[in-house]
Structure 1
Amino acid sequence: MLAIVSPGQGAQKPGFLSPWLELPGVRESLLAYAEPAGIDLIAHGTQSDADTIRDTAIAQPLLVAAGIIAADSLGADGYAAGSFTASEAPALLSGHSVGEVTAAALAGVLSPADALALVAVRSRAMAEAAAAEPTSMAAVVGGVREEVLAAIEAHGLSPANINSSGQVVAAGPVAAIAALGENAPARARVIPLQVAGAFHTRYMAGARDVLAAFAPSLAPADARQDRPLVSNAGGEELTSGSRFLDLVVQQVASPVDWEACMARFRERGVTAILELAPAGTLTGLAKRELKGTALVNLNTPDDLDAARSLIAEHAAGDPTSEER
């Protein structure tokens, strides 16, 4: 069984779209996607510096566009339109935070244009909510889960991302994040993240409301039965387009439980994970949590052959696996 995953905010890197522009049709696709995205995808994906693309309103549309472009390059018709033709491969589809929007485009739940329109509204609303009060996030790596969660709560913070058995991301007021860093849980490290706000917490309630008001303008389709979405909401596996849209709206102000998504992969017998560009974050977590699973990062067109080979080998649930 194959899982195709899409990373969340923070995975973007300066110039990461440049190699994709060498492929026929990619420039035209990015120009078309720029209108619903509300930003110049080509300029920001090839020329803008790290500080510029750290902006939530720029980073999120860039990530969704990159994932769609990478997936679309895998087959004649592409996965982005929900019609991936390479072996007609079944797969679980998932994404971390904004990566869920990419996954919805791959599943055919949202058209690429609707996915980018959704993320444009989402990213601007989250940026505005973050500007209302100085908040931030920090990864707590290591320690005992119960002790880590207790420490986060004691500092008035929230567990915004449950990324793995050894990593929880705390979010809340900047001063509280600093205090947690000065008094880290036993055997744990606190690593401040370069983000603009306390995403996936109550501080994003305003952004959630904006997204909820926008969502009815979309017409989500149901995913194919052999390409279900695995939600950040407890790893729920779903094909209902309307259910997905409800959850992705709530996700803005609710925790991302990526550990539960990986548990779902394990339960479903996933033998391989393909991470779409800009890849590496989620396969890094899987390398520690899902040992023996074959992993491929699709970062540039040079990785397409390896990605296609992974799909051919594991789409039918081949139990043979190896890390790559």
Structure 2
Amino acid sequence: MSKTAFLFPGQGVQKAGMGKDFYEHSAVAREIFDMASEVLQMDMKKLCFTENEKLNQTEYTQAALVTTCLAMARSAEAKGMKADVTAGLSLGEYCAIAISGGMYDREAVYAVRKRGILMEQAVPGGEGAMAAVLGLSADQVEHVLNEREDVFVANYNCPGQIVITGKKDAVLQAGEALISHGAKRVLPLKVSGPFHSPFLREAGNRLEETLREISWKELRIPYITNVTAAPVLETEKIQELLVRQVASPVRWQQSMERMIAEGVDTFIEIGPGNTLRGFLKKIDRNVKVCSVNTWEALEKSLEGPA
């Protein structure tokens, strides 16, 4: 039987103007943006729709992206789109949980605002770094990092793309070593800290205080957690996994492989850009995947993924 998954991107895909066309065309999207503005006491339309420096600052980026992705997803649902399972890359996992029924949209927005602030504060600016390693397998990257301190795997994105994270000098030196071991390129990422590394463990522990305030709900459909790449249906597991997720590697490739193994054959990426679509095509070229990143793309996708 055919199964459909909704996928939500993580930090890095944000851009000025995201979600504006949904706000203009969808009453549901307007409700989401207005709700987020009320909950966070900031103008989310200004943050997401206009050119501004805050959009690329972690403490604002996370709330902006989750608000936008939820507005897009709820608009898609209003048009009749339905998911059998969800997943989100890092930050996107909050959208996946909300769409799966595990938390209210307003609480997802509130939680990621707190998460962004804690992650921003976790390591002094300039001390941490991340980089994408292209052209090596996960085993090859892990082999190089195992010989080093203060640098770790942050993301298993897809075959040939692994993200590393850690202290700035350690990431730089590891990048040089990875090039010498055959990496095609090592690209520094524009981030403000060593996300998904043990250096963020304290931020995860502090996030737990916020997550205790959440009114967790019964999951209607499973979501795939970044931490283990396994489906989650037990509500009581969500909080612990979100705490661990902050300092754990994102097992995205493994998550997609698990979905495919369990019969998912149609993937709908919801959010700015089409990064996850690119990853999926490298994981399995045979799956159907489309990106709902504009109102026009939503209407086109209702005709069926390419």
- In the alignment, the residues of structure 1 paired with residue 67 and residue 259 of structure 2 have an alpha-carbon distance, to the nearest angstrom, of 25
Instruction: Compute the displacement of 1:199 (Å).
Output: 0.6
Partner residue, 1:146: 139
Is 1:127–2:120 an aligned residue pair? yes
Runs of 4+ in structure 1 displaced over 6 angstroms? none
Is 1:210–2:206 an aligned residue pair? yes
Gaps of 5+ in 2: none
Partner residue, 2:182: 187
Gaps of 5+ in 1: 79-85, 311-322
* 1:16-55 pair list within 5 angstroms: 16-25=18-27, 26-49=29-52, 51-55=53-57
- In the alignment, the residues of structure 2 paired with residue 194 and residue 75 of structure 1 have an alpha-carbon distance, to the nearest angstrom, of 33
Residue 77 of structure 2: SS of its match in structure 1? coil
Return the letter of the residue paired with 2:256.
M
Contact 1:100 1:231 in 2 (8 A): yes
Residues 125-182 of structure 1, C-alpha deviation per residue, up to 9 Å, x if partnerless?
0011133671010011112432211222334211111112221111111112222233
- In the alignment, the residues of structure 2 paired with residue 67 and residue 13 of structure 1 have an alpha-carbon distance, to the nearest angstrom, of 12
Contact 1:135 1:174 in 2 (8 A): yes
Over aligned residue pairs, what C-alpha RMSD do you find? Answer: 1.8
Residues 282-314 of structure 1, C-alpha deviation per residue, up to 9 Å, x if partnerless?
11100111211111110111012233333xxxx
Partner residue, 1:57: 59
Instruction: Compute the displacement of 1:116 (Å).
Output: 0.6
Contact 2:4 2:267 in 1 (8 A): yes
Contact 1:221 1:240 in 2 (8 A): no
- In the alignment, the residues of structure 2 paired with residue 253 and residue 285 of structure 1 have an alpha-carbon distance, to the nearest angstrom, of 22
Residues 8-41 of structure 1, C-alpha deviation per residue, up to 9 Å, x if partnerless?
0001112222222211423343122123345421
Return the letter of the residue paired with 1:207.
A
* 1:134-283 pair list within 5 angstroms: 134-156=127-149, 157-185=151-179, 186-188=181-183, 189-224=185-220, 227-283=221-277
* 1:94-133 pair list within 5 angstroms: 94-131=87-124
Instruction: Compute the displacement of 1:195 (Å).
Output: 0.4
Identity of aligned residues (%): 28
Distance 1:222 1:182, change over 3 A: same
Return the letter of the residue paired with 1:12.
Q
Return the letter of the residue paired with 1:60.
Q
Partner residue, 2:15: 13
- For structure 1, which segment, 104-113 or 161-170, has the greater mean C-alpha deviation from structure 2 after superposition? 161-170
Distance 1:248 1:38, change over 3 A: farther
Instruction: Compute the displacement of 1:242 (Å).
Output: 2.1
Residue 108 of structure 2: SS of its match in structure 1? helix
Contact 2:155 2:164 in 1 (8 A): yes
- In the alignment, the residues of structure 1 paired with residue 83 and residue 16 of structure 2 have an alpha-carbon distance, to the nearest angstrom, of 33
Match of 1:284 among 275, 278, 289: 278
Partner residue, 1:81: none
TM-score by length of 2: 0.92
Return the letter of the residue paired with 2:74.
D
- For structure 1, which segment, 67-76 or 37-46, has the greater mean C-alpha deviation from structure 2 after superposition? 37-46
Instruction: Compute the displacement of 1:90 (Å).
Output: 4.4
Partner residue, 1:317: none
- In the alignment, the residues of structure 2 paired with residue 52 and residue 132 of structure 1 have an alpha-carbon distance, to the nearest angstrom, of 16
- In the alignment, the residues of structure 1 paired with residue 202 and residue 126 of structure 2 have an alpha-carbon distance, to the nearest angstrom, of 12
TM-score by length of 1: 0.87
Contact 1:61 1:120 in 2 (8 A): yes
- In the alignment, the residues of structure 1 paired with residue 111 and residue 120 of structure 2 have an alpha-carbon distance, to the nearest angstrom, of 14
Contact 1:57 1:124 in 2 (8 A): yes
Contact 1:228 1:237 in 2 (8 A): yes
